[in-house]
């Protein structure tokens, strides 16, 4: 049993030695392609965020547990209002954006922080300054729309969006790592596939195993000079 395992490991090692160029070349090629796409093809995207808090005005002058629960229930509704056409149309007009509400909605993500009354408005754009401007404009338009719809001022601004300094995508190190892993798997797979498809006989042991007859002799191959 141990001898068979040693033979299997030896066979695997022989495949690696024989196909090492392919095993190395494919991951390197995948790495180069990923680097080229990440650095020269994909457009960097910047994300700016503004934070808001939803608080139901207390009827007794003090915020109680029921007020917090009502505020948390309103968060889901307010998420939809923040991405509504009425809010986004105002943003498009005020910033003179060269596209409509449909494309703007793709850039805006409204997230409710779990178990809190906090809403975060995230905006991604190739222009970091514009990303911050859109986030702040969405927050401002949203707060005005809440007053118009709900007839109550219960949304407070916590943090305005600041211009981001670094892009959030593409994530070059992650892309390179994924490409390297996938390339390595593809390289090893290709090496073993080629070895499996290669039916040529390479040594006397293979002849004896294939034909089940002893090898009587070996005739050397002489190249013509």
- Note whether residue 13 is domain-resident: no
- Note whether residue 140 is domain-resident: yes
CATH number of the domain enclosing 60: 3.30.70.1130
Contacts of residue 7, Cβ cutoff 8 Å, sequence gap at least 6: none
- Note whether residue 190 is domain-resident: no
Question: Cβ–Cβ contacts within 10 Å for residue 216, how many?
Answer: 6
pTM over 0.75, yes/no = no
Rg, C-alpha atoms of the chain: 32
Q: How many helices (H) and strands (E) does the chain have?
A: 8, 4
* Number of domains the chain contains: 1
Q: Contact at 8 Å (CB) between 213 and 204?
A: no
Furthest-apart CA atoms within the chain: distance in Å: 107
* Structural domain of 52: 46-159
In a structure prediction context, what are the per-residue pLDDT tens digits for the chain, which is 225 residues long? 555 555 577 778 888 888 899 999 999 999 999 999 999 999 999 999 999 988 755 555 555 445 555 556 677 788 889 999 999 999 999 999 999 999 999 999 999 888 788 899 999 999 999 999 999 999 999 999 988 988 778 888 999 999 999 999 999 999 999 999 999 999 999 998 988 887 666 666 666 666 666 766 666 766 665
- Note whether residue 96 is domain-resident: yes
- Note whether residue 125 is domain-resident: yes
- Note whether residue 164 is domain-resident: no
């Amino acid at each position: 049993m141990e001898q068979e395992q040693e033979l299997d490991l030896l066979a695997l090692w022989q495949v690696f030695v024989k196909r090492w160029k392919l095993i190395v070349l494919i991951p390197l090629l995948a790495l180069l392609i990923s680097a080229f796409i990440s650095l020269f093809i994909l457009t960097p995207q910047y994300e700016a965020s503004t934070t808001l808090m939803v608080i139901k005005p207390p009827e007794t002058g003090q915020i109680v547990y029921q007020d917090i629960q009502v505020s948390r229930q309103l968060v889901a509704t307010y998420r939809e209002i923040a991405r509504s056409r009425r809010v986004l149309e105002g943003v498009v007009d005020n910033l003179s954006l060269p596209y409509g509400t449909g494309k703007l909605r793709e850039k805006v993500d409204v997230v409710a922080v779990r178990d809190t009354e906090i809403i975060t408005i995230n905006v991604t754009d190739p222009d970091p300054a514009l990303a911050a401007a859109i986030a702040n404009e969405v927050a401002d338009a949203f707060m005005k729309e809440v007053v118009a719809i709900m007839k109550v001022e219960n949304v407070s601004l916590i943090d305005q969006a600041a211009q981001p300094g670094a892009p959030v995508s593409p994530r070059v190190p992650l892309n390179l790592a994924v490409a390297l892993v996938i390339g390595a798997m593809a390289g090893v797979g290709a090496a073993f596939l080629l070895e499996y498809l290669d039916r040529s006989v390479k040594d006397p042991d293979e002849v004896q195993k294939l034909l089940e007859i002893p090898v009587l002799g070996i005739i050397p191959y002489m190249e013509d000079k």
